[in-house]
Structure 1
């Protein structure tokens, strides 16, 4: 459980506010379930504050205070980007999701809030695998995965980077085993097949910045259709 998969530069980038929304969600969720990551993130934020305080200050625009107050009012009234993040009422979600709501409520709060804001509706991804799209920005995407024991993804590699954080249960990909709080990082050089272990249903937060590239017969079909 040592912190070896989260690059220090990513933590500093998060503190500086320059990461995409999917990557911010990944790091905030990682910190919510791992005390060592939370400490490392706090250190990165202190370092970022110290850096910015050492930089020469730019002159503030004459209307800066008015602009800031207008932004606060917009957020509080549900306007703009914040409007899309409002959670449905518990009764509404419970009516649509039934017992699936309990599963979402057991997840770490950053993911739980996003999943409820997205409506809490699971969609088919593969046999035994369901997903909820949580966040998309630029070329990055964050999804919540629900993987039944013995199921998972076909063998694949990646066009970009893939970060998979286990929230509950466990999976193995032929390279390593990942349990709750473990982060699997994969890139173009990685070929693996993540499969949930027997027993508990596996929940994972997956963040990608490129498409998966399947191998074998499925890869041939993907290439045929231009994937």
Structure 2
């Protein structure tokens, strides 16, 4: 079993570094809620075993809707990560926008796919509705996204970092 603290094998790997930055940020957000002591070797073994199990030669992976945690993303916006492919540098997640909520302008370093499952949102003068696919292209700024009535989005894009 590989020592999870040994990052030498991943030095210079942008996807690994992005995933590590994502977890550093997520853990930092927990603040004092986390014990300052390093988890026991048994905890690392259990985590490693779970990852190995998920990466075993399975032909498919199902993520039940009951799994995952909705996290704060922006005012009136929650995010639930469904899957992360660190090797490829992307993640799949849901975004729930409350009525009047939205996301500030930003850019993407790679293509982002956004499929509207429920509701609608406005961006750049256009309305994107249920069943529509919206693409944010790499290297381009993307205006503010606002949902007057609320929306549920499936997004596949770069790993936050």
Instruction: Assess same fold via TM > 0.5.
Output: yes
Higher relative contact order (CA 8 A, sep 6+): 2
Query: Which residue of 2 is the match for residue 42 of structure 1?
Result: none
Where does the alignment leave 5 or more consecutive residues of structure 1 unmatched?
1-78, 86-112, 212-226
Alignment size in residue pairs: 103
Which runs of at least 4 in structure 1 moved beyond 4 Å after TM superposition? none
Alignment of 1:144 onto 2:144: no
Query: Which residue of 1 is the match for residue 45 of structure 2?
Result: none
Aligned residue for 1:114, secondary structure, equals: coil
Alignment of 1:129 onto 2:77: yes
Residues 100-120 of structure 1: CA deviation (Å, up to 9, x unaligned): xxxxxxxxxxxxx63526x24
**Aligned partners of 1:158 and 1:186 also within 8 Å:** yes
Residues 44-73 of structure 1: CA deviation (Å, up to 9, x unaligned): xxxxxxxxxxxxxxxxxxxxxxxxxxxxxx
- Displacement of 1:176 in angstroms is 2.1
Report which of the two has the higher share of strand: 2
Aligned residue for 1:169, secondary structure, equals: strand
User: Using the alignment, how far apart are the partners of 2:153 and 2:64 within structure 1?
Assistant: 12
Query: Which residue of 2 is the match for residue 80 of structure 1?
Result: 53
Query: Which residue of 2 is the match for residue 205 of structure 1?
Result: 154
TM-score (norm 2): 0.56
TM-score (norm 1): 0.41
Alignment of 1:192 onto 2:143: yes
Query: Which residue of 2 is the match for residue 154 of structure 1?
Result: 104
Where does the alignment leave 5 or more consecutive residues of structure 2 unmatched?
1-51
* CA RMSD, 1 decimal: 2.5
